[in-house]
Structure 1
Amino acid sequence: MPLEIHQIPIMRDNYVYLLRDGETGQVAVVDPGEAGPVGEALDRLGWTLTHILITHHHHDHTGGVGALKARTGCSVVAAKADLGRIDAVDVAVADGDRLAIGDSVADVLAVPGHTLGHVAYWFAEDKALFCGDTLFSLGCGRLFEGDARQMWRSLCALRALGDDARVFCAHEYTNANADFALSVDPANAALKARAADVLALREKGMPTVPAPMGAERRCNPFLRADAADLQRAVGMVGCDPADVFAEIRRRKDSF
C-alpha cells in the first residue's frame, strides 16, 4: 500500500509531514518544528506516532521533538553528524542507511550545504523525497555551514532521483523563489509557466509543494548551474558548475 502523506503548515511558512505506512499503521513525522499542530493532526486522523525524522538541527525543524516524544514515546531519528545538536536521538543515521517505517523504507541521503549534518529521506517506492532545507521548489537553502561545492553535489544527488520524484520541502517559499529565478533565467519558458502556476495557487491559498522533480530540473536555477543556457544568462559560459551555483546563490542572498 502507498505511504499516506499528510501536510501540516506551521509557523509562518514551514511544512511538517505526517507519513503513515498503510500495511502496519506506523506513523512518522518529518521535522516537527512545533508539537501542537502535529498533536492536533494525529488526534484528528486517529494516528499513533511511532517515529520522528529530523533532516537537520535548526529549531524550526526540531522545536516540537521533546513534547512529541514525551507524549508518544516515539523513536527520534537524526543524522549521526548532528548528535549533540539534537536532543533525545534514538536512531543515528548516515548516508546510505535504510530506515523502515513499517513496510515503507527510506534511503538516507547525506546532503550537506545548508548545514553540515543535513540528511534527506527518500522513499523510492512512493517517489517521495523529504529534503528539509536543502532543496526548495525553485530554490535551495542558504549556505549556513557548508560551502557551494558541497551544496552543488547535494543538489545533483537529489536531481538524480528522477523526474517523477516528489519534492516535499520544508518551506513555502516558491512564489518568492520564482521572482528570483526569473531574474537570472528570464528566457526560460518552462520557468515562466511554472511561475504563473505558482502565483495562481498562492492566490487561492493553496500549497505549491510537493513539486515534481522534473519541473524543478527544468525551472530551478540552482539545479541548472551546468546548463549552457543558464550559464550564458549569468555570463559564465563554460565555467565549473559549482562556481556558477555559487554565483547564483550569491545573487539570491542579496536579492
Structure 2
Amino acid sequence: MAIEIEQFMCLSDNFGVLIHDRESGESALIDAPEEGPILKAIEKTGWKPSTIFITHHHTDHVQANLALKEKFGLKIVGPKAEASKIPGIDETVAEGDILHFGGEPVHVIETPGHTAGHVSYHFPQSGVVFTADTLFALGCGRLFECPPETMFASLKKLAVLPVTTRVYCGHEYTEANVRFALTVDPENSALVARAEEIRKLRAEGKPTLPTTIERELDTNPFLRWHDASVRNTLGMQQASDAEVFAEIRKRKDNF
C-alpha cells in the first residue's frame, strides 16, 4: 500500500510534507520548515509523526526541529555530512542506506549541490521521491556549497529513477522556473503546454507539485543537457553534458 501524503505551505514558499502509512499507523515529516503550519497539518490529519527525515541543514528546512522534538518526542534523521548543523539530530544517513517507514524501505540518495551533504529520500514501493532543494519542478537548487559538476552528478542519479516516480520538492518555485525554462528551450511544445497549466494552477492558488520524473525529463532544462534544441539555443552543440548543465545554471543565476 502506498504512503499517504499531506502537502502544505510553510513560511513564504516552502512546502511542508507529512506522510502516513495506514497499515502500521506510522507517520513522519519531510523536513521541518515552520512549526505552526506543521501542527495544523497534524491536527487536520490526525497523523502524529514519530520521525523527521531531514534533507539538508538550511534553516528553512530545520528550524522547527527542536520544538517538534519536544512536543512529540520524535526521532530526527539527517545526512551524516551535515550532522553538526542539524538541530536535534539522532540518526545519520548516507548514500545507499536503507531505512524503513511502516512496511516500506526508504532509500537514501546523496544529492549534494545545493549544500554539500544534501540527501533525497526515495520510497520505491510508493513510487515517490522527496528531493527538497536538489530537483525542483522545472529547476534545480542554487549551488551554494558545491561546483556545477557536483549538482550535475546528483541530478543524473534522480533522472534514472522510474519515470512514473512522483517528485515532491522543497519550494513552490515553478512559476518562476518556467519563465526561465522557456528562454532555454523555447521550441519544446510540452514545455509551452506546461507553462499554461502552471499559470492556471497558480491563478487558482493551487500547488504545482507533485511532478514526476517523466515530466521533468520532458520539460526541465536542468535535465535536458543532451537535447539538441537546448544545445542549439545555447550555442553549445559540441559541449559536454556537464558543460551544458553548468551554462544553464549560470544563466538561471543571472535571470
Which residue matches 1:113? 113
The SS at the match of 1:12 is coil
Gaps of 5+ in 1: none
8 Å Cα contact 1:107/1:122 also seen in 2: yes
Q: Whole-Å Cα distance in 2 between the matches of residues 238 and 129 of structure 1? A: 33
Cα deviation digits, residues 44-63 of structure 1 (max 9, x gap): 22121100011000000001
Deviation at 1:180, TM superposition (A): 0.1
How many angstroms does 1:228 deviate by? 2.1
Structure 2 SS opposite 1:47: coil
Q: 1:166 corresponds to which residue?
A: 166
- Alpha-carbon distance between aligned partners in 2 of 1:40 and 1:173, rounded to the nearest angstrom: 23
SS at match of 1:152: helix
* Counterpart position of 1:125: 125
Distance 1:165 1:156 in 2: 15
TM-score by length of 1: 0.98
* Matching of residue 140 in structure 1 with residue 156 in structure 2: no
Paired with 1:158 and 1:181, the residues of 2 have a C-alpha distance of: 19
Count of residue pairs the alignment pairs up: 255
How far does residue 23 in structure 1 lie from its aligned partner after superposition?
A: 1.2
TM-score by length of 2: 0.98
Superposition deviation, residue 225 in structure 1: 0.9
**2: distance between equivalents of 1:94 and 1:80?**
6
Contact 1:228/1:238, CA 8 A, preserved across alignment: no
- 2:204 maps to 204
Residue 186 of structure 1 is matched in structure 2 by 186
Compute the RMSD of aligned alpha carbons: 0.8
Cα distance in 2 for partners of 1:102, 1:215 equals 29
Following the alignment from structure 1 to structure 2, what is the Cα–Cα distance between the partners of residues 201 and 32? 25
Deviations 1:9-46 (A, max 9, x none): 11111101101011111111011111111112112221
Equivalent position SS for 2:183: helix
Moved over 3 A (4+): none
**Alpha-carbon distance in 1 for matches of 2:49, 2:99:** 16
Give the C-alpha shift of residue 88 in structure 1: 1.4
Aligned-pair identity in percent equals 45
Structure 2 unaligned residues grouped into runs of 5+: none
